[in-house]
Each structure stands twice: as C-alpha cells, then as structure tokens.
Amino acid sequence: AQRVTQPEKLLSVFKGAPVELKCNYSYSGSPELFWYVQYSRQRLQLLLRHISRESIKGFTADLNKGETSFHLKKPFAQEEDSAMYYCALRGGGADGLTFGKGTHLIIQP
C-alpha cells in the first residue's frame, strides 16, 4: 500500500525566512512525487513534480529515495506563499494520486 505523510498540519514562518514543508512517503517501487498548492478561494493546482527538477515560484523539492522524502523548500518566504500545500504520490501502474493530509503554510509579515 502507498502512503504519504505530511507531519505538520500548520506551519507559520515570518516573511523572508526559509520554509521547509516535509513530506515522507511509503511505496515499494519507484514513485512519482508531486506538490500541489491551493491558495485561498482557488482550486487545487500543480506546483511542481520531481521528474521536472524545476523551480516554481522559488520552490524546489528533491526526491530522496533513501529517506523516502520529498520535502518542499524555499529560501525566502513571501506573503503570497500562504496556502495549503499537498504532497502527492503516483506509483506503479496507477494513474490516480495518493495525497497527504496537507500543510497549511502561513507567512507572517
């Protein structure tokens, strides 16, 4: 069975501080990992995926297969980063995503 764990329900940091949203997964094969974001009053949208190895809005995430982690990082938080962040996994022959419970990120001015 595959599982995604986001240990923090809420994370509050000050503007300009570094941000790290934790994501750990459980899957026996080679997964695809994603970060989705939901801003206030907006729909869920893809932020980044590990196979793209890109930086979106200053965020990066590296897949660490040894630690089964896919933490989301940003060196300097901005107020507009406040949102719900969901880590998701797609594994094996399945196309559907398995989501974590999400972390509510609040950036304080």
Partner 1 sequence: EAGVAQSPRYKIIEKRQSVAFWCNPISGHATLYWYQQILGQGPKLLIQFQNNGVVDDSQLPKDRFSAERLKGVDSTLKIQPAKLEDSAVYLCASSLDRRNQPQHFGDGTRLSIL
Q: Which residues bind partner 1 (CB under 8 A)?
A: 4, 34, 43-46, 49, 86, 88, 90, 94-102
- Both tokens of 5, joined, read 């764990």
> Do the strands 98-99 and 45-49 form a parallel or antiparallel pair, or are they unpaired?
unpaired
Residue 75 C-beta: closest distance to partner 1, Å? 25
Nearer to partner 1 among residue 63 and residue 100 (C-beta): 100
Q: What angle do CA 40, 46, 52 make, to 5 degrees?
A: 150
Distance CA 59, CA 97 (A): 21
Nearer to partner 1 among residue 15 and residue 71 (C-beta): 71
Residue 61 C-beta: closest distance to partner 1, Å? 15
